[in-house]
């Protein structure tokens, strides 16, 4: 539970928030493994308080990274604006960000897929700064190699994950393909833009009120922003529509058919425009496979790490990644464990891989 007294005192020191008291803060009941969210009454903003860093960054670096994510992505008009930063301190170990509170509802799939496609197209259309100006965001100039580094690190937990042999074989087959594709595609140019990377539908709201009243209604806004980087737009498209994303959040649960997924890709490509669409086309299914493997190996890692005892000295450590059960409420942990068990089952893995191994495959329909 975040320290509301400390947060109120820190918030009152920010310009425009003098006099804020604990009574002005209300903890929101939102699902999530990495943050608490606290509404500031009457101000249209909320405090986003990290519980950990999913990139295993120090508390200060994690906050700097997330602030950059909100600043850059909000330029698209499809993310909350950043209003202030509370640096890590004695009673707020991970610090906090002050961002817009978006009034909206969870996406309904497949009906709201076009809104998600539009949001992603707007983010991907933002100007890409020169390499020297991209930090602190990660810069995957070779998006396949960048994703493979993360996948390989997560795959180190395979032996400890207690997978059934058939499931392990499905994952190993995909790993073998990914390693081969990474070697074959090294040096080949593909489009690189600002990307969100964690685009499962539960990370979006469909705005029901906002600037311009009716003008804002129906706009898809990504509200969970901490993993943005420079990489392949195909990552965002894949993560929004793979089975392990569309069935992750109970509020946005949907099992999409192959034609519904293909329609989403076609909508996006039309919005992205001719040049980007043409350059991106050959990479869409390979990046979908890479993204699926990234998600699945994350599940492997989570299964192992959340069982481990929480380190008492977490906030004194340089790394603040913590998937232990003690860091999140039991209901959320139970939900994640259920989802991870599904995704690491051989039948589910086979189902996901059928999108590109079966015929017709996704590429045939895009």
Domains 4-101 and 105-365 share a fold: no
Residue carrying structure tokens 């649960």: 253
Domain 105-365 has CATH 3.90.1200.10: yes
The answer to whether 86 and 14 have CB atoms below 8 angstroms apart is yes
Predicted local confidence at residue 252, as pLDDT = 96
If you write DSSP's letter for every residue of 15-70 in order, what string do you get?
TT-TT--GGGEEE-----SSEEEEEETTTTEEEEEES--TT---HHHHHHHHHHHH
By the 8 A CB rule, do 76 and 69 touch? no
The pLDDT, as a whole number, for residue 309 is 47
Torsion of CA 334, 340, 341, 347, to 10 degrees: 150
Distance CA 113, CA 262 (A): 11
Read off the tokens for 190. Answer: 């593909």
**Tokens linked to 124:** 């991907």
Whole-angstrom distance, CA of residue 241 vs CA of residue 201: 8
Contacts of 25-33 with C-beta under 8 Å, sequence gap 24+, read 27/1, 27/2, 31/202, 31/249, 31/251, 31/332, 31/335, 32/224, 32/332, 33/323, 33/327, 33/328, 33/332, 33/336
Distances (CA, A) of 83 to 70, 100, 225: 10, 7, 14
Sequential DSSP letters for 192-250: -EEE-S---GGGEEEEEE-TTGGGTTT-EEE---S--EEE-HHHHHHHHHSHHHHTTSG
Per-residue pLDDT of the chain (366 residues; tens, 9 = 90+): 899 999 999 999 999 999 999 999 999 987 666 889 999 999 999 999 999 887 889 999 999 999 999 999 999 999 999 999 999 999 999 999 999 999 999 999 999 999 999 999 999 999 999 999 999 999 999 999 999 999 999 999 999 999 999 999 999 999 999 999 999 999 899 999 999 999 999 999 999 975 544 445 699 999 998 999 999 999 999 999 999 999 999 999 999 999 999 999 999 999 999 889 999 999 999 999 999 999 999 999 999 998 774 443 344 444 455 544 444 578 888 999 999 999 999 999 999 999 999 999 999 999
Q: Which residue has the tokens 């996901």?
A: 352
* Cα gap 151→177, rounded to integer Å: 13
3 state DSSP class of 122: helix
How far apart are alpha carbons 252 and 95 in whole angstroms? 29
Question: So where are the chain's domains?
Answer: 4-101, 105-365
Residue pair 277/271 in contact (Cβ under 8 Å)? The answer is no
**Residue 81 — left, alpha, or beta (φ > 0 → left; ψ -120 to 50 → alpha)?**
beta
In degrees rounded to 5, what are phi and psi of residue 365? -95, -20
Between CA 61 and CA 317, with CA 6 as vertex, the angle to 5 degrees is 35
Residue 135 token pair:
């930090």
Per-residue pLDDT, 68: 98
Instruction: Give residue 340's Cα distance to chain centre.
Output: 16
Check residue 254 and give its pLDDT: 97
| Sequence-distant (≥ 6) Cβ neighbours of residue 181 within 8 angstroms | 144, 286, 289, 290
CATH code at 4-101:
3.30.200.20
**Helix crossing, 330-343 with 346-357: angle to 10°?**
60
């Amino acid at each position: 539970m975040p320290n509301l007294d400390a947060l109120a005192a820190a918030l009152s020191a920010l310009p425009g928030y003098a006099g804020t008291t604990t009574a002005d803060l209300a903890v929101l009941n939102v699902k999530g493994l990495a943050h608490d969210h606290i509404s500031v009454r009457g101000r249209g903003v909320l405090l986003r308080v990290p519980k950990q860093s999913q990139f295993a960054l120090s508390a200060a670096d994690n906050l700097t990274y997330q602030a950059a994510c909100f600043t850059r992505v909000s330029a698209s008009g499809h993310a909350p604006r950043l209003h202030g930063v509370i640096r890590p301190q004695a009673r707020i170990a991970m610090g906090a960000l002050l961002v817009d509170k978006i009034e909206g509802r969870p996406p309904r799939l497949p009906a709201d897929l076009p809104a998600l496609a539009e949001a992603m197209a707007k983010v991907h259309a933002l100007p890409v700064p020169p390499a020297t100006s991209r930090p602190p965001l990660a810069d995957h100039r070779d998006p396949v190699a960048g994703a493979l580094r993360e996948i390989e690190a997560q795959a180190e937990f395979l032996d400890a994950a207690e997978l059934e042999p058939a499931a392990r074989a499905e994952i190993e087959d995909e790993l073998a393909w990914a390693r081969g594709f990474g070697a074959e595609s090294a040096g080949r140019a593909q489009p690189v833009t600002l990307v969100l990377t964690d685009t499962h539908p539960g990370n979006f709201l469909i705005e029901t009120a906002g600037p311009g009243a009716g003008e804002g209604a129906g706009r898809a806004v990504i509200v969970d922003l901490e993993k943005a980087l420079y990489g392949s737009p195909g990552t965002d498209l894949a993560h929004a529509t793979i089975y392990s994303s569309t069935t992750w959040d109970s509020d946005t649960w949907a099992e999409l058919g192959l034609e519904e997924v293909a329609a989403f890709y076609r909508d996006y490509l039309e919005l992205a425009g001719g040049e980007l669409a043409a350059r991106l086309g050959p990479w869409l299914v390979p990046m979908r496979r890479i993204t699926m493997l990234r998600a699945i190996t994350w599940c492997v890692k989570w299964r192992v790490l959340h069982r481990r005892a929480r380190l008492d000295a977490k906030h004194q450590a340089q790394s603040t990644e913590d998937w232990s059960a003690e860091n999140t409420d039991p209901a959320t942990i139970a939900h994640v464990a259920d989802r991870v068990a599904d995704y690491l089952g051989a039948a589910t893995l086979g189902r996901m891989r059928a999108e590109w191994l079966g015929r017709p495959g996704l590429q045939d329909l895009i």
